[in-house]
Amino acid sequence: MPPVLSKPTEQPMETTVNTTAEGRPDFISIRDFSFFYGKKQALFDISLDIPERQVTAFIGPSGCGKSTLLRNLNRMNDLIDGIRHSGDIVVNGRSIYDPHIEVISLRKRVGMVFQKSNPFPKSIYENVVYPLRVSGQNKKSVLDETVERSLQGAALWDEVKDRLHESGLSLSGGQMQRLCIARAIANRPEILLMDEPCSALDPIATVKVEELIRELKQEFTIVIVTHNMQQATRCSDRTAFFYLGKLVEFDETPKIFSNPAQKQTEDYITGRFG
């Protein structure tokens, strides 16, 4: 088991934060959020409160908008021409669309892991420290500490500590994905977004990443998009089901998968869609 990482030292500006029924603060508050790719509306009035240091899974059929919403949480969709939104997304009490927030600083607070592992053609060491170097940090002691902390956090340290200067591309698929997770947490983000992080992995590598997700939630607020419902049940505390750009149901994961309130959710998770 990787050690628990220390808390981020930089605390963003605090404002009023709602709490869930279990008393956990709502870390991410999505309010009446709609999103458009040009004329096509991809998300419709989504309102969702994601609690701090829990794993929240987004599920739903292809094209339901779950990845679109995920990519809005760090404003990755800003890179696409013709997009627009209405409503708001508030992280830790502050809107991510606040004109005083720089997108770059937002993305430092919100790490992301993609479906296909995408290590840079650099050494394992350089992959992990890449976000720090981009921010201008080149002090060796800081970089060394970050590499060890991040690789331990990603449950990869023991496997690569003796070959840190070998290419990241020399690792197995599962190791590469965990390297990307190490890179994503190197900058001590508050939130970790994962877009189908295990879909290209074999079952053993998948189990390792899933165990890692459960471990990482002690330190990060995690949002994961997955098509694998068994994975959602194993990894997540809460699950949101989306259909045709709308949030159909959001509840605790055991409730969603044993007794969903909405018929659409029931039909989807029991394989009766279509």
Partner 1 sequence: METPRHILTNFETALENLRKDVLMMASLAARSIDSARKGLFERDEDWCNTVIADDEEVDTLEIQIDKAGMDIMLRYHPFASDLRNVIAAMKTSVNLERAADQAVGIARRARKLILQPALPEIARIEPLFDTATNLFKDAIKAFSDGDIELARTLKLRDKGLDEQNRSFAETLADLMQKNPDSIRGYLELIFIARCLERIGDQAKSIAEDTIYAVEVKDIRHTSIPN
Interacting residues with partner 1 (CB under 8 A) = 229-230, 233, 257-260, 263, 265-267, 269-274
Rounded to the nearest whole angstrom, what is the least distance from the CB of residue 218 to partner 1 in the complex? 27
Identity of the residue, 47 or 259, whose beta carbon is nearer to partner 1 in the bound complex = 259
184: nearest Cα among 193, 172, 175, 176:
193
Name the minimum Å distance from CB 158 to partner 1.
Answer: 32
Cα–Cα distance for residue pair 56/247, rounded to 1 Å: 14
Decide whether 84 or 272 has the Cβ nearer to partner 1. 272
Comparing C-alpha atoms, which of 72, 76, 83, 84 is closest to residue 30? 72
* Residues found in the chain: 274
Least Cβ distance, residue 227 to partner 1 (angstroms):
13
On whether the CB atoms of residues 149 and 157 are closer than 8 A, the answer is no
In the block, which residue shows the tokens 């998948």?
Answer: 206
Nearest to 132 by CA among 108, 160, 156, 162: 108
Output 131 or 260, the one with its CB closest to partner 1.
260
For residue 92, the minimal CB distance to partner 1 (Å) is 33
Cβ contacts of residue 147 below 8 Å, gap of 6+?
125, 128, 129, 164, 186
Number of H helices, E strands in the chain: 10, 10
Are residues 11 and 45 in contact, defined by beta-carbon separation less than 8 angstroms? no
List 249's β-bridge partners, or say none.
241
Question: 161 or 255: whose CB is closer to partner 1?
Answer: 255
Cβ 229 to partner 1 shortest distance, Å = 7
- Residue 254 CB, nearest distance to partner 1 (Å)? 11
Query: Rounded to the nearest whole angstrom, what is the least distance from the CB of residue 120 to partner 1 in the complex?
Result: 37
Which residue's CB is nearer to partner 1, number 84 or number 263? 263
- Of the pair 106, 198, the CB lying nearest partner 1 is at 198
Is residue 110 classed exposed, middle or buried when 0-12, 13-18 and 19+ CB atoms within 10 A define those classes? buried
Nearer to partner 1 by C-beta: 142 or 244? Answer: 244
